[in-house]
Structure formats: structure tokens, C-alpha cells
Amino acid sequence: MTPFELLGLVGVFLAARIVLTLQPVKAGSQGKSTNFAREYLDPFIYAGIAAFLLITFVARTYYIPSGSMIPTLQIGDVLLVNKFEYRFRKPAEGDVIVFPPPIPTPDDFIKRLIGRPGDTLRIDGGKVFVNGKALNEPYIADPPAYKLQIRNYGIYVDAGGGYAPLDPSVANVPPRRFWSAPDRIPAHCYFMMGDNRNDSEDSHIWGFAQDSGTFDAGPLEGKPAHFTGHAFLIFWPFNHAKILWR
């Protein structure tokens, strides 16, 4: 059920509640019937309002349309995404996050957070190294078939033809003034990767995601940036339901 469908359902319950409230009571038996209806409708009304507020301000559902997060997420999975959590804490390494990417698209993306502001990061020999330490990644489909380095105020990718920097005109790689060091991820920037490393349009293609401010470079330069929320639960289909641990 979408938020709009839920809003319609809440509207029906509210309308029924108003009708019952305004309906005149002509006899004692009718009054008892009306009170009985109110008694049993009220819990549904309050539950509907609570669910609407929950989906609007605290959580939302998200449908997985592609295989970029296989094997963690399968096509057709439906997730519950916490929209409130990042108001109280910074995103953590390993979080599975829904966010608008810095490229023109009507849809949010979902990827795993690999590198945070201030981190060094490189990919070599099929392993991801953050701050010089190789990550233990039991969740990936296959090791990445490319190499990558964050250096010289840029993201350099080698897919077999030698290292080349991502073009700041098509990828979100901020200008030098936003970097605290030439080899460390800039403030508010995050390196995101799909678990299906070799079939994922992620930070090795379009640069950094951002948790706030505006995109610093690329085709959406100057547009507001944010994280939609932290995906923490697969609740459909039931045979694949699970909590998404880091």
C-alpha cells in the first residue's frame, strides 16, 4: 500500500467517524447501535492515522527493481526504510542506504556505505581497503573486477586500460577546495557500492553520494543532496524476510 492509498483509507475512516458523530439519535436502540459502531471503528481510525504518520515522517517502504544489491537484496524485495535515524546519528560503514544519486534519475538508489568523510579508500586485487585495512565482505556476489584509488583530489578507476579520473562534469567529484586532503573523502561525501560489485552503477561510476548540502559537481551540481534513510528490514516476500545487519 502506497502512502497515497493509506491516506485515502484514513480519509474513509475519518469520514465514517464524522458521519457517526453528526448522525442524530432518534431512539434509544439507535443510540446503542451508533455507540457500538463508534467503539469498534475508533481503533481502526487511530491505527490508520498512526500508520500514515509513521510512513510520512518515520519510515517508508522501498521496492527493489534491479539486481545491483544481489545477493543481499533480490529483485522484488520490499524493504522498510528508517527516515528518522540519520537525524540522530551519522551513517555508519556497512549501512544499506536509500538516497538520491548525483545523476539525473527519478528514482532513489540503494547501496551499501563503504567510505565515509575523512576515510582513505582503494580497491585492488578484488579487495576494498578503507584506511589501509581490507574489508571483510561476506555479503558481496563477486569481488570487484576493477581497481580504484582516491588520490590527487579525485576518484581514479582502472577497468583494464589504466587509471583514469572520473570526469567532474558527469560525476560528483568536488573541486579541490572541498577536500581536507588529496586522498581522503571530503566532508559530507560518501562512497557507495552495490553488493553485486560488477553489475552495479555506484560511486565508481558517478562519484560521491552526499548526506546534506548541495551536490558539489556533476550534472546535478547545486541541487539539494540528502539521504532518504537507512534500510533495515526486508519484510516481503516472507520467505526472504530478515533484518539487514551490517
Around Cβ 106, how many Cβ atoms within 10 Å? Answer: 5
Distance CA 238, CA 189 (A): 35
Give the architecture (CATH level 2) of 64-243.
Ribbon (2.10)
Look at residues 47, 76, 60 and name the one whose alpha carbon lies nearest to residue 238: 76
* pLDDT tens for the chain, residues 1 to 246: 333 333 333 443 444 444 444 444 444 444 555 555 555 555 555 445 544 445 554 578 899 999 999 999 999 999 999 988 898 899 999 999 999 999 999 999 999 999 999 999 999 999 999 999 999 999 999 999 999 999 999 999 999 989 999 999 999 999 999 999 999 999 999 999 999 999 999 999 999 999 999 999 999 999 999 999 999 999 899 888 999 877
Reading the block at residue 173, the C-alpha cell is 567529484
**Segments of the chain assigned to CATH 2.10.109.10:** 64-243
Cα 16 to Cα 8, 22, 32, 45, distances in angstroms? 12, 10, 17, 9
Residue 82: Cβ within 10 Å count: 16
- Residues annotated as part of the active site: 68, 111
DSSP-derived 3-state class of residue 157: strand
DSSP class of residue 24 equals P
Question: What is the reported pLDDT for 40?
Answer: 53
